Amino acid sequence: MRRKRQFLAPLSLTFSVLLFSGLGLLLWQSGGLAFSPGDLSSKSRPASRIQGFSSHADFEQECKRCHQPLKSLQASLCMDCHTEIAKGIEKGNELHGKLENPLQCAACHGDHKGREFDPLQGALAHFDHAITSFSLIWHQFNYDTSRMDCQACHLSEQDFKVQDKNCSGCHTGADQDFMVEHRREFGDGCQDCHDGTDNMVNFDHSATAFPLHGKHSAIRCVDCHLSGHFEETSGDCLACHSEPGVHEALFEADCTACHSTETWSPATLDGESFSHQLFTSFSLARHSQDFQGQAINCKTCHLENLRLVDVTACTTCHTAQDADFMTRHQNGFGSNCLDCHDGTDRMDNFDHANFFPLEGRHAEIDCEGCHLSEARERIFAGTPRECSQCHAEPEIHAGFFGLKCQYCHAVSNWTPARLKIHPFPLDHGQDRESACETCHVQAYDQYTCYECHEHQEQDIIRTHTQAGVLMEALKNCFQCHPSGLVEQNDRDK
């Protein structure tokens, strides 16, 4: 038995050597195909070739392209072909670069499962969409509550690019009016703004670091979020509003110290509402730019102190523009510009006739005759235009003829007046008109005939009493004698 075992040992060793040698030769001759677990996939992406191959099936006879045991890691061999994925993993900015173990290719992309097997689709069972820039938290169901599949957003099963028309098509079907306005304002680049985690229907801007108050609440999103950018939008006033030239570099950059979102003007100064016209009685309506078109700022007029005005700033600026006019103007009206000007006037083309024609005696009056207050201050705005505002109504007809003096009097002279309506003849019993005082002794709304007929009083009373005229009506002569004559029927009586 011992001899038999000694004989069989060399024979067994020889057989083993021959067996492994044969297997090695077979493996070498077949390129490893003898141990292949199955056919490779023939699936390919349209018009896509890598190193001349369109699918794994094209190099099925060359196992070493993917398998080099003890010599190279399989992932390294994958990267030799899929160079773009390798670059993305290296930079960390591509989908595979965001995976926890990006070099475990076979863990997601299997093969040797037949010609129809798609390694890309097979990877979906292991894929976590959260590693992308778009979350599916709000995109698991369609508006009709049906389950949302990949093709709802992605172009195809081979090409997983997302087309914005898929987004707009779905959301337009749910709310067309909103989407038309939304696309008009922000365009079609949905993923430029949306990451899938937002729910803008219930968005409350007041919950952000920049609540929308006052005028800000009425503006559109795109007025501040240019090009559809929302994150890191500046809340600084100067990011949207340029500093007004009128106070450029004069105040701090904190606009809220003087202005509010309710309205830009009036501003507040020392805690009080500020309006240049109300505080100073001088409007800036015609003083936003100088004669050269440059912005006038506060220090242009307030040379040393913003609370004080130096009129030399006025005269210096206007003299540079028209020295001859300013010399005449100052000689005639002095240099205290604010006594006459309130910023709203433009006196170089001033025509007094547009406000109050200076005719007759009015043309002889100095400006101070009308434009001077009781405190000896020059006033122009609000100067009276009615006669009675400058001239006291004569006592003799006060309250009787009204205040339209021009109906009877002329600007050339106060007297004689022109009485246009007087039913009773003014030349009664004489060759010429009687003076008003002859009949209107006390006032023009009262008259008496006894200034001339006083010596006939008893006869008048007797004859009128006989005619049935009562004493109360006796003094109302005009009622019976409107022409001033004794009517024929009166003579008969």
Are 309 and 316 a contacting pair, CB within 8 Å? no
Q: What is the DSSP letter of 224?
A: H
Tokens of 190: 């949905």
Whether pLDDT at 489 is above 50: no
Whether 2 and 72 map to the same domain: the answer is no
Please check whether residue 457 lies inside any domain of the structure. yes
Please check whether residue 236 lies inside any domain of the structure. no
Confidence of residue 432 (pLDDT cuts 50, 70, 90): confident
**Among the listed ranges 56-70, 98-112, 162-176, 266-280, which one has the minimum average pLDDT value?**
266-280
Residue after which a domain boundary falls, among 131, 165, 184: 131
Mutual orientation of helices 164-174 and 176-186 as an angle, nearest 10°? 140
Give residue 493's pLDDT.
44
Please check whether residue 335 lies inside any domain of the structure. no
**Rounded distance, CA 135 to CA 150, Å?**
13
Output the CA angle 363-365-366, nearest 5 degrees: 120
Whether 15 and 63 map to the same domain: the answer is no
Whether 30 and 41 map to the same domain: the answer is no
**Peptide linkage before 416 cis (omega within 30 of 0):** yes
Distances (CA, A) of 173 to 110, 176, 189, 392: 39, 6, 18, 81
Q: What is the mean pLDDT of residues 93-113?
A: 84
Residue after which a domain boundary falls, among 82, 106, 131: 131
Whether 62 and 118 map to the same domain: the answer is yes
Whether 127 and 42 map to the same domain: the answer is yes
Q: Which of 31-40, 181-190, 200-209, 316-325 has the highest mean pLDDT?
A: 316-325
Q: Write the pLDDT tens digit of every residue in 358-416.
A: 888 898 888 878 887 777 776 777 788 888 888 888 877 777 777 888 878 888 888 87
Whether pLDDT at 32 is above 90: no
Burial class (CB in 10 A: 0-12, 13-18, 19+), 233: middle
Whether pLDDT at 466 is above 70: yes
Give residue 228's pLDDT.
60
One-letter amino acid of 437? E
Q: What is the mean pLDDT of residues 148-175?
A: 81
Are 221 and 199 a contacting pair, CB within 8 Å? no
Whether 29 and 56 map to the same domain: the answer is no
Give the DSSP H or E segment for 323. Answer: helix 323-333
| Average confidence score pLDDT of the chain | 79
Q: Write the pLDDT tens digit of every residue in 308-348.
A: 888 889 999 999 999 998 998 888 777 888 877 888 875 65
Centre a 10 Å sphere on the Cβ of residue 361 and count the other Cβ atoms it contains: 12
Please check whether residue 112 lies inside any domain of the structure. yes
Whether 127 and 40 map to the same domain: the answer is yes
Confidence of residue 488 (pLDDT cuts 50, 70, 90): very low
Whether 46 and 127 map to the same domain: the answer is yes
| Backbone angles phi and psi of 340, in degrees to 5 | -115, -30
Are 109 and 120 a contacting pair, CB within 8 Å? yes
Distances (CA, A) of 460 to 424, 441, 473, 475, 493: 20, 21, 12, 10, 13
Number of folded domains in the chain?
Answer: 3
Q: What is the mean pLDDT of residues 105-122?
A: 85
Whether 71 and 5 map to the same domain: the answer is no
Please check whether residue 423 lies inside any domain of the structure. no
Please check whether residue 449 lies inside any domain of the structure. yes
Confidence of residue 471 (pLDDT cuts 50, 70, 90): confident
Whether 40 and 25 map to the same domain: the answer is no
Confidence of residue 175 (pLDDT cuts 50, 70, 90): very high
Q: What is the mean pLDDT of residues 425-439?
A: 79
Whether 57 and 102 map to the same domain: the answer is yes
Confidence of residue 29 (pLDDT cuts 50, 70, 90): low
Please check whether residue 45 lies inside any domain of the structure. yes
Using alpha carbons, select from 73, 62, 70, 135 the residue that is nearest to residue 102: 73
Whether 43 and 16 map to the same domain: the answer is no
Q: What is the domain extent for residue 45? A: 36-131
Using alpha carbons, select from 134, 158, 187, 98 the residue that is nearest to residue 148: 134
Give residue 315's pLDDT.
92
Higher pLDDT, 39 or 432: 39
Please check whether residue 274 lies inside any domain of the structure. no
Classified as helix, coil or strand, 292 is: coil
Record the pTM: 0.38
Q: What is the DSSP letter of 253?
A: S
Helices and strands per DSSP (H, E), number in the chain: 21, 2
Residue after which a domain boundary falls, among 83, 116, 131: 131
**Among the listed ranges 24-33, 254-263, 308-317, which one has the minimum average pLDDT value?**
24-33
